Amino acid sequence: MKNNSIYIGIDPGLSGAIAIIYPSQIEILPIPIAGKEIDVSAIVHWLRTTQMDDFYPLAYIEKVSAFPGQGVSGMFKFGFVTGVLHGIFRTLEVPLYTVTPQAWKKEILAGTDKSKQAAIDYCLRAYPNVELFRTKKSRTYDSGMADALCIAEYCRRKHSVL
């Protein structure tokens, strides 16, 4: 029975992540890569093995645009990954919204410089038990994972029943 919502944040791109805020836990998946491409089957498998079916999922994905100086092939790859992520969530019938980086940073990182480090610092304070390391060997926190968790928190704030 679906009696609670879960909130999903998606930071698209090959260095991005997917974060899910459950009522009593958080899960984060760095975007899996197979070769040089997004590993669609790994994402679908992960989503199907989460407890998502027990809840009403809501998701936000960061709205992407070109960066100054970004090459055509890099932008194409980034857009492709974003489109694949849209397709996965639409196929799984998860309500999916877009949010600009400016909008979620204004809400979640208010009073900071809204940098990648500010997102990491927020996550470490708000969710001290969450691992923000991309791999077991990583020594630095992953900004893609932090951004995904911040976007999930934005989703929670926008859709929580108060």
Position 1 scores a pLDDT of 41
Dihedral of alpha carbons 110, 115, 116, 117, sign: negative
pLDDT tops 80 at residue 87: yes
The predicted model scores a pTM of 0.92
Position 148 scores a pLDDT of 98
Torsion of CA 82, 84, 89, 91, to 10 degrees: 150
Position 73 scores a pLDDT of 67
Summarize pLDDT for 29-67 with one digit per residue, the tens: 999 999 888 999 999 999 988 877 789 999 999 997 766
Which residue would you say has higher pLDDT here, 65 or 98? 98
Which CATH topology does 5-159 take?
Nucleotidyltransferase; domain 5 (3.30.420)
First vs last C-alpha separation in the chain: 21
**Could you tell me the pLDDT band of residue 162, with boundaries at 50, 70 and 90?**
very low
Position 68 scores a pLDDT of 65
